[in-house]
Structures are given as C-alpha cells and as structure tokens.
Amino acid sequence: MTEQFRISDEERRAIDSQLAEAPSRNGTGAYIEDVMRERMQRREFLKVAGAVGAAGVAVSMVPSALLPGTAEASGPAHGARLTFQPVVASTVDNILVPEGYTYDVLVRWGDPLVPGAPAFDVNNQTAAKQAQQFGFNCDFIGYYPLPPFVRNAVEADGSLQPAISEQLQKYFRPLSRTQSRRALLVVNHEYTSGTEMFPGYSASAPTATQVRVEIEAHGCSIVEIALESDGSHRFVQDSPFNRRITGSTPIRISGPLAEDPRIQTSENPRGRVVRGMLNNCAGGKTPWGTVLTCEENFDQYFANFGSLPTDSEAYKISARIPAPSGASDRKWENYIDRFDLAKEPNEYARFGYVIEIDPYDPTFKPIKRTALGRFKHEGATCVITADGRVCVYSGDDARFEYLYKFVTARIFRPFNRAHNLGLLNEGTLYVAKYNADGTGEWLPLTPANPALAGWTLNDILLNTRGAADLVGATKMDRPEDVEASPVTGKVYMALTNNTRRTSVATDPGEVAANPRLNNAWGHVLEMQETGNDAGATSFSWEIFILCGDPKNPAHGTFFGGFDQSQVSPLSSPDNVAFDSDGNLWIATDGMINSKDFEDTTLGVGTTGRRVSDGVFAVPTEGADRGFLRQFLSGIPGGEVCGPEFSGDNATFFCGIQHPGEGGGLPNTISAWPEGNAPAKPSIISVHKVGGGKIGE
C-alpha cells in the first residue's frame, strides 16, 4: 500500500481495539458482521485519505531480492492490466479459460520421461515402469529457465560440468525474468489414490505390486519443456534433464538432525540417508536456482504408532503429529517393514521436512534440510533479508496449526553457488504470534527461549509443533501456501478452511486473525514485515480476503474493501503465486459446495454436486485492490495446484490434481484429459492467443 493510502498506527489500533471489544453474536464470539463493518469503514477512510493525500509517494521499500521465476514490475502498476473476462464456476469435464486464451496438456500421469521408458498401460503397471514415468497427483510447479550453455553441458554420465554450476548462478536471475525457449518444470507428486489408479483395487487388501507402484508414483518429476512459435509449450521427452525422485529414492539427511539417534534405523544406522520423500505438496525456489519441496501429510503412510511406549523417545517427539495408532489406510506396512512403527519405530521421524533438489544437475542427490523443522510443511518461499540472509516461509497445513519462518545464519552470496548450497543447514526457526491490534511477533524456537528451557535444538526440530505450543504461537485455520509480492514485499498466506473451529479462542489475537466459527470457506492474510525486512522479528497484518459467496450474507465475505457485487465467489484458497506486476493468483482446493452456495447464484450445478476448483486473480494494491475474478475452472473432482508463470508472464502453468476423485476406475466423474479412462493428473499451460501477458 502506497504512503498516501496509509492511516496511522494509532488510528488502526483504535479501530481494531473497538473490534476486539465488540460483544459476541448470540454468545459465540464470532462477530463476523462487526469484523466486516469495521474493515469496510477502514477501507472507505483509506479511499478518502488517498484522494486528498500527497500524490506520487512511493512504496517505502521493495523486496531485497526478487525470487527466481519472477520479474521486475513493468507495465501498469497495481493490477490495472487485469482485463480478462472472468469465467464462471463450472461442472463440465474440461478446463475453462477466458475468451482469447487457450490451454495445452503438457505432461500426464504415466507419460514416459526418458528414452526407452515403457508406454503407460493401466492394466500392466509395475514399480520399475512407474519410476521412469511421470508420477501421479501434481502439486507444486517450479519454472526454471534452461539456457543453451547449461543444456549443452551435461556429461556422458549425466552430471553437470562443475564450472557450469557456478556460471549458472551468474545468469539465473536475469534469465528467470525473461521467457526462455527451453525450461525445466519441477513438479511435486503429492499422493496416490489406488481406486483411481488400478482396475480391481481393494483398499483393504492392495497387492504388493500396487503398493510398490504407488511408492514410485510419489515424489517429484523434473521435465524439460520447449516454447513453440505459436506460444504453446511441448514436453521434451528425450531430455537428459528429465528424471524422477520417488518414495524410494535415497535422500541425504543434513543439518542438526543428521546422525541423531532418534532417526537411526536398521537400514541406516548412522541416520544420514533416508529412502524417499512422501506427500510433497507446495514448495519454493531458492535464489541460487534449486527447488525446495515440502513433505506435508506424511503421517498417513505409517502404521502402529499406538504400539510405541508412551515414555519412548519415538512416541514423545511425534505425539503432536501422530501416525495411525493401528493399521494405516494404505496398508503399505503389509509388505514393507519401514512403514510399520512396531518394527521400525524411528522411521517416522525421518519424514516431515523440506527437501532441496538441484534441477540442473541430473546426478544431484536430494537433501532433507532438517534445520527448517519437522511438521506438515506447505510451501517454502524464499526472500532475501535486508542484511543478505535468506528467509524461508512455511505453513503447517492442518487445523489449529502455525505459520513458521526460517532465517539463515549466513548471508547469500550471489555468485557462489557452492556456498549457498549449505545455507539451509544453519539458522533460526521462528513461529508467528498474531496480536488483536494488527501487530505480530516472530517467536524464536531455540533453546535460549525461556519457554523452551530444557529443550535441545534437536528436540525442537523433531517436535516443532510441541515447541510452538509452549512459546504461545497463534493457532490458525490451516496455514497453506505463503508468498511475497515482488512489488511491495508484503507477504500473503492462504488459510484454506477450518470447520472444527466451533468455539471461541481465549486468545484475542487468534480470534482476530481467524474471525469465523465453522470457517468453511477460508481467508487470506496480508502481512508486512517491520521495515519490509524478512529478517525482522515483528510485523503488522490484516485480513485481505474473507472467502465465500458475496451474494450470500451468511458467508460474511470481504474482498480487500472492493465492491463485492463485482467479484467472483471463492472458497478454500490453497496455493498462491504472484505475477510480475504484483497481482495475486489463487488456486483452490475444495472450492464450492451447493449446500454452501446457491445454485441460482452461480447458474450451475445440481444439489449435492461440487463445482470445480479454479484459479482466481486479484490486485493487492490501488483502486482495484480486492477485485477478484476467476481466470480458470478445473475438472470435476479435481484440485487446481501449483500456479506458476514463465519469466515473461506470457505462460501460466498449473496442475490438475486427482481429476474425478471418488469416481473409481473406470471413472464415473471425469474422463479428462484423454476422453476415456483413467482420468489422469496432468500439467497444463495456458497462453493468450496471439501472445501477451497472462491477464491482459
């Protein structure tokens, strides 16, 4: 927000103080109508102040460093360029994009990635085949430009020439702000659904072959894409950069927890290597050109947590994030001992981390960065601090969990990639505390914090949720993806929903930051670090969007103060991304249910049938702040994930995850993208016919 649109801290606190002291509605304490009334009054004040304030006052600071894959602001400021005609919520079995746009399916589940890889055959799947094919559900997407000097530097053994790795960093950031003729996409494969993968699948008794196929369908894929003359992209099937990292790939363990006795197992007595990564959801990109991918709901893969003695270390460090007490839903433990905690009690503590991967080096062994803590990580957004260190934001995607950030101990060196590859092994982990007056604090999770007396650093990193409980962090409504604006430096967090918030919290900050009981629709928070410095230990915040159908008064929606009669209905914000002009793009997970949204309002749907998830664009500053419109509608039963832009913002990428989920095989809900069974999770690219920036 520019200076002429600001009100003083004293005025803001006075408004929020009135809000915090407002009487509850019907004794519930939710008072959402009061929240909206006060926020709208504040918005009107800002408009008036902006009209009479001094013109031309610039934003106080911009981010210390832009993230890879983003671009310098160019063109109309503050979202004025968003002129696309919005689409409407849909139940059709196809992708909808605005008039003048088109989409292509780039790569689908089962597509062969490397020369010699077998073609996909749904009736003849094996683990060996799946390890050479594109994995199942698609979540995070990272766009990495691939200049010719890198593409031509792969040795015969698949390794990248050492000198190229350092040279790459000199060119990476400028390249990431332009369109590259060749690029790499890094795609997370979050989880598998046996009923949508295998004919005749039995959830209570999967076969050994099916279990091993599912393990190989997890992890991530790295694929090369090429830009065509018409603005579309194609998948380069014979690229030496194409590869899979799966649920069985050896991964190094680094940072403070390496060799900790609590992560040592019979297979790996030193505690230095773990087999695979699981449930990789959102992620992030480092300024030195690597990818950070996050393990989220890893608890579902393990069985017999209840067999652990309650006084054992294995139980105590995971009591706040327990696996199933008996058999798992997946039944992997029937065939593989490491998923049975009665047999391998320490295996569970080896999951729940952020993993770093170098997409440019086909021989790079992934690394679990344990210094960033162990929880259900959602996102790993990197921002350079004012003094040159690296801050990584990450949500813990579960009801009543927390927002974290990690700040490295050492500074980022722009042209020393070898140095930067060690940055995430040492630093300080913080958790967010929201105050009712619109301020907030980053609470350090260190042994020096008096609230954690008697805890070692490794205790904190293994039981991060338990440590956050003790220091008094704010419990949130499913903190998911977190992104920083490349224009203003403000930080935005998607809070997907929380229908379990049925009673008023005792902490007024928690009530203010999560103001709705039975929050079925979610909201988006806007945060400003003190001094616009990601290394600060305090911040200010406000609610940017309260999701729902603005035509239904019961939803109590708010869209940055914008006229709600003009916005698209929105529910369950999940992944978020910014374009180069500072517009926020939101992908949803669990969009709209007819029981919550009137069919007459949307003009689509039938009773009990969910309309598809989608992608929405919204300016965060200026006169159009809060003017949210739907850009894309996905596939029935599917989730839209991983919104990402090419460097010049001329191409938009996203993942269609679990299309037709619940429809089984053959699928009764979706036949996308091939028009027949099985429905396939896929990556799509969207571009404007004739060229131009996405959204214009």
Q: Return the DSSP state at 213.
A: H
At CA 243, angle to CA 258 and CA 113, rounded to 5?
A: 155
* Distance in angstroms between the alpha carbons of the first and the last residue of the chain: 22
Q: What is the pTM of this model?
A: 0.89
Averaged confidence pLDDT in the chain: 87
Residue 277's CB: how many other CB atoms inside 10 A? 29
Identify the residue whose tokens are 């196809």: 94
Is the confidence at residue 166, as pLDDT, over 60? Answer: yes
Residue 155's CB: how many other CB atoms inside 10 A? 13
Q: Which residue has the higher pLDDT, 67 or 416?
A: 416
How far are the Cα atoms of 46, 551, 626 from residue 565, in angstroms, in the given order? 20, 7, 12
pLDDT of residue 15: 34
The radius of gyration of the chain from alpha carbons, rounded to an integer in Å, stands at 24
The sheet carrying 280-285 orders its strands as 273-275, 250-254, 367-369, 354-357, 291-295, 280-285
The sheet carrying 639-645 orders its strands as 101-108, 682-688, 651-657, 639-645
Q: Which three-class secondary structure state does DSSP give residue 151?
A: helix
Please compute the mean of the pLDDT values over residues 539-554 and round it to a whole number: 94
Closest CA to 227 of 143, 289, 152, 142: 143
Q: What is the pLDDT of residues 204-225, one digit of tens each?
A: 999 999 999 999 999 999 999 9
Q: Which three-class secondary structure state does DSSP give residue 152?
A: coil
Beta carbons of 184 and 160 less than 8 angstroms apart: no
**What is the residue extent of each domain of the chain?**
59-296+352-688
Spacing of C-alpha 666 from chain mean position: 30
How far are the Cα atoms of 464, 560, 561, 626 from residue 620, in angstroms, in the given order? 32, 8, 11, 6
Q: What is the pLDDT of residues 375-390, one digit of tens each?
A: 999 999 999 999 999 9
Closest CA to 396 of 329, 314, 490, 496: 496
Beta carbons of 408 and 427 less than 8 angstroms apart: yes
**Distance between CA 503 and CA 518 in Å, rounded?**
9
Is the confidence at residue 257, as pLDDT, over 90? Answer: yes
Torsion angle, alpha carbons of 172, 177, 179, 181, to 10: 0
Is the confidence at residue 144, as pLDDT, over 50? Answer: yes
pLDDT band at 171 (very low <50, low <70, confident <90, very high): low
Closest CA to 145 of 74, 71, 73: 71
Q: Which residue has the higher pLDDT, 156 or 18?
A: 156
Beta carbons of 330 and 211 less than 8 angstroms apart: yes
Kindly report the backbone phi and psi dihedral angles of residue 399, in degrees, each rounded to the nearest multiple of 5, phi listed first. -65, 135
Closest CA to 521 of 543, 552, 499: 499
Closest CA to 468 of 481, 455, 483, 482: 455
